[in-house]
Structure 1
Amino acid sequence: MGDDTGNWCLIESDPGVFTGLIKGIGVNGVQVEEIYSIDKETLEDLRPVHGLIFLFKWEGRNPASTPGSQAPIEYDNDKVFFAQQVITNACATQAILSVLLNSPSIDLGEELTNFKSFVSDFPAELKGVAITNSDLIRTVHNSFARSDPFINEMNDPGSKEKEDLFHFIAYTPINGQLYELDGLQEGPRNHGPCPGDSWLEKVGPIIQARMAQYAGGEIRFNLMAVVDDRIKVYEEKKASYEAQLAALQQREGPEAGGWLKGEIENLKQDIVKEEEKRMKQQRENKLRRHNFVPLVYELLKGLAQEGKLEGLVEEGRIRAKAELESARQRKTAAAASAGQGGSTGDNFGEDVDMYE
């Protein structure tokens, strides 16, 4: 785990990790939800949405060529928080900050509020340096690194193993304009006006256009939304319905308001599900920090002593070969479909954790 300004660890593309990171730096009242489709119904269920965080494979080309976008423009440094990424592996946290620090309705907490005020007059590059030098932000980021020596070796600059690189950017409305915030660019990109909440309808085609630039077999995209605390949202709705029900029953009697009773029960169930999800995320975050290599080593040693290891290894090789062949066939079929004019769709694939 990194402990200096030059060492930021890889973290997973996971809503539980991002929610924990946000809470760790002192921000209140928001969480991160993974989105599997950018259809209107999905986004409506999550309102209010403060911003979207999009992960894609980094190919080293200039994303300014994205259809429907503009090159970095002159922008008001006082109204748009934009920081250039100056350290490897920081893009996930930087994308999150791009949403948080451009959303006036979010309670940033004391530390991040002071940080925003301190860097407000800095140019983009110095803002990036300030993020890198923030003990709080770096420490919280690195606290979500997986305790796995193999990951550290794989990402050693001297290692011959090369992994695909992935990068995060943010989309968020600022002063009635939809902005794309990419720390690897010189400045933000303005995708045009988006009055009210219309930015969610506007951003969908922009993300789809970026996805369409990749070969048909590329499915490794990930999209997450920064939204209000779901339990708080559900509790506020429940309180509103309960007040309406009480007023209705006072006028019409205790049997009135059947649909309100149903909505209240549904919200109670939503609250329970959200509480269970949070407990699961907290458990998973704890497991990420635990190094299981010594346990696995002892298990393998025991299997070897009992003469069972060789057979299990061979069985694993056969299964892995079959899975690789299946993946190859799926990729070939997807490429053929794309070549025949098939759509890339608006669904998002697996989680990945190798970031530029």
Structure 2
Amino acid sequence: MDDPRWLPLESNPESFNKWSASLGLDTSPPKGYHFTDIWGLDPELLQFVKQPVKAVLMLFPVTPEYEKMRKEQDEKVLEEGVEGVEDVIYFKQTIANACGTFALLHTLANVDVPIKEGPLTELFARCKDKTPLERAQLLTTAKELESVHEQAAQTGQTAAPALEDDTDLHFVTFVEHNGFLIELDGRRNSPINHGKIEKGLLDDTVEVVKHIMELTQSIQFNLVALSPATEDD
């Protein structure tokens, strides 16, 4: 039996907000949060991102250079483990092309934002005593989640690819957890701890992003922040 496949999400705040709001995220001001573009990595552009930033989602190309680094880090994780991530809700990605949804799940499961009681809160409650693989298996029967994903995948500014198509672009999420910068990527062996946050979630994430950009030698990156919703948005 083939592995399940979902249409890939476009790295588009409109798609992310539709997905999240449909499943209970409060996106209305003054207490709500929503996804918004990060227009560049220069300090003068970063200052336009409303604070406090709760998460940063990154879409980037998977290159041989990146894969080499990832595998080396994953081997180190298997040998040494990772500190500070024991109570992070982490999903192993088992659904092809669903890295966008896994990035959104990793975000909303691990940040303090208002989410209405419903499919997401029920899913996260069931995840607490499960392994990453068992959490992923819960998603294969989450029909409402799959339906919302499909609708959001059709929302992007460009035409959605065919279901059988593979993509060489990948989503990961960066969140703060107990003062540490945590990277969540369903292809990994575990969450990755990038160390204590020194400047702030956004600024510290940008430093990691710059390293990955240098490694991949690509500018095909897109960053989205989960930030407070305000009346002037």
2:190 counterpart of 1:184: no
Structure 1 segment 139-158 matched on structure 2, within 5 A? 139-146=147-154, 151-152=161-162, 155-156=163-164
Partner of 2:52: 48
- Specify the alignment match of 1:122 in structure 2: 130
Residue deviations 1:206-228 (CA, integer Å, cap 9, x gap): 1100010123xx32111111112
Q: Which runs of 5+ in 1 are unaligned?
A: 158-162, 232-270, 275-356
Give 3-state SS (helix, strand or coil) of 1:169's partner.
strand
Question: What is the match of residue 29 of structure 2?
Answer: none
For the pair 1:32 / 2:35, whether they are aligned, the reply is yes
Structure 1 pair 167–48 and aligned structure 2 pair: CA distance change class (3 A)? same
Deviation, 1:139, is 1.1
Q: Equivalent residue for 2:11?
A: 13
Q: Read off the aligned partner of 1:151 and give its amino acid letter.
A: P
Paired AA for residue 109 in structure 1: K
Which structure is higher in helix share?
Answer: 1
| Cα distance in 2 between the residues matched to 1:22 and 1:121 | 24
Q: Distance in 2 between matches of 1:129 and 1:171?
A: 23
**Higher fraction of strand:** 2
Contact 2:9 2:101 in 1 (8 A): no
How big is the shift at 1:96? 1.3
Please say if 1:219 is aligned against 2:222. no
Query: How far apart, in 1, do the equivalents of 2:71 and 2:44 lie?
Result: 30
AA aligned to 2:146 is: R
Compared CA separation, residues 58 and 133, structure 1 to 2 (3 A): farther
User: What is the root-mean-square deviation of aligned Cα atoms in Å?
Assistant: 2.7
Mapping 1:312-327, distance limit 5 Å: none
Deviations 1:114-170 (A, max 9, x none): 211111111111112223321222110011233999932xx536xxxxx65110001
Q: TM-score, normalising length from structure 1?
A: 0.55
Give the 3 Å change call, closer, same or farther, for CA 48–151 of structure 1 in structure 2.
same
How far residue 185 of structure 1 moved from its aligned partner, in angstroms, is: 0.6
Conserved? CA contact 1:64–1:71, under 8 Å: no
**Structure 2 counterpart of 1:64, which letter?**
R
Task: Decide whether the 8 Å contact of 1:56 with 1:220 is kept in 2.
Answer: yes
Q: Which moved more, 1:81-90 or 1:200-209?
A: 200-209
Conserved in 1, the CA contact under 8 Å of 2:54 and 2:201? no
Return structure 1 stretches of 4+ with deviation > 6 angstroms: 147-150
Q: Relative to 1, partners in 2 of residues 1:170 and 1:66: Cα closer, same or farther, differing over 3 Å?
A: farther
CA distance in 1, matches of 2:129, 2:137: 13
**Whole-angstrom distance in 2 between the partners of 1:164 and 1:156:** 10
What residue number does 2:174 align with? 171
Percent of aligned positions with the same letter in both sequences?
A: 25
Q: How does 1:124-273 map to 2 (within 5 A)?
A: 124-146=132-154, 151-152=161-162, 155-156=163-164, 164-194=167-197, 198-215=200-217, 218-231=218-231, 271=232
Please state whether the residue corresponding to 2:54 is helix, strand or coil. strand
CA contact (8 A) 2:92 2:132 kept: yes
Larger radius of gyration: 1
